Amino acid sequence: MLMSSKGFTTRAARDLIDKLAEHDEPVIIFCVHDADAPGTMIYQTFQEATKARGARKIKIINLGLEPWEAIEMGLQDEEVEAVKKRKAVADYVQARTDLAPTGETWQEWLQTRLIELNAMTTPEFIAWLDGKIAEQITGEDKLVPPSDVLVSELDNRVAEKVRADTRERILREVGYEDQVAAAIAAIEKPDGSSLAQGIRELFEHEPDREWRDHVEAVAEQLRATTKG
């Protein structure tokens, strides 16, 4: 499932995460955010304890986008207007010892600059997200359903395959394809000029229709003739 909190962890988003944790099955939440100061706090406030609630017992994985990653990808950064109150930045950003290209700490860089996810094109974003998730998913993370679900799924798959095989055998025995070919050959179909004239007449009376509508109507009439 997908969820958006529009750039910060709303109470509704946090409540939903808490609801998802109210059972014994494993749950993994992938967190994606812009490379800006509020974005770094999204993961931290989702996973760690806050004044409003304790730390969550489900697994939340921070996929990024982080500013150092975005710069390495060659994404365009944007300058934002400085504000009097310093922007909160996640602990994992403050702990970094490398510097931004400007020579500032990343904590300082995020006070006046950002890189949004939409700096990527849609194909770039999908490829980036697929790669990020692929790095995180292992066999241990994948859910094995309860036994009754497995048995039911197998029953359905077997029935589906047997039904398809039986249908194919019966159709083959009665010469289904030959009968269809003979029926089609027996139909007297109008030529292209007649179809084009019918389409022009359709457009004259109903200009919002499509040419395929006329072809479909003729096909249905011919079908009714063969059924009769």
Structure tokens at 2: 């997908």
The confidence score (pLDDT) of residue 26 equals 65
| Spatial distance between the Cα atoms of 46 and 62, rounded to a whole number of angstroms | 10
The confidence score (pLDDT) of residue 118 equals 85
| Spatial distance between the Cα atoms of 123 and 101, rounded to a whole number of angstroms | 27
Q: What is the pLDDT of residues 110-150, one digit of tens each?
A: 888 888 888 888 889 899 888 888 887 665 556 677 888 88
Residue 82 in this model has a pLDDT that exceeds 80: no
The confidence score (pLDDT) of residue 94 equals 86
Residue 191 in this model has a pLDDT that exceeds 80: yes
Residue 58 in this model has a pLDDT that exceeds 80: no
108 vs 81, more confident = 108
Domain boundaries, the chain: 11-141, 147-227
Rounded percentage of the chain residues whose pLDDT exceeds 90? 24
Farthest-apart Cα atoms in the chain, separation:
84
Residue 56 in this model has a pLDDT that exceeds 70: no
The confidence score (pLDDT) of residue 163 equals 94
Q: For tokens 């996973």, name the residue.
A: 47
Residue 215 in this model has a pLDDT that exceeds 90: yes
Residue 89 in this model has a pLDDT that exceeds 80: yes
Single pTM value for the model: 0.49
| Spatial distance between the Cα atoms of 193 and 80, rounded to a whole number of angstroms | 64
Beta carbons within 10 angstroms of residue 88's beta carbon: 13
Backbone phi, then psi, for 38, in 5-degree steps? -60, -35
Which segment of 10-19, 50-59, 65-74, 196-205 scores lowest on mean pLDDT? 50-59
Q: What is the pLDDT of residues 10-29, one digit of tens each?
A: 667 667 777 776 666 667 78
Residue 51 in this model has a pLDDT that exceeds 60: no
Rounded percentage of the chain residues whose pLDDT exceeds 70? 82
Q: Residue 193's pLDDT band (boundaries 50, 70, 90)?
A: very high
Distances in Å between the Cα of 195 and the Cα atoms of 41, 44, 56, 212, 227 are 64, 65, 66, 10, 22
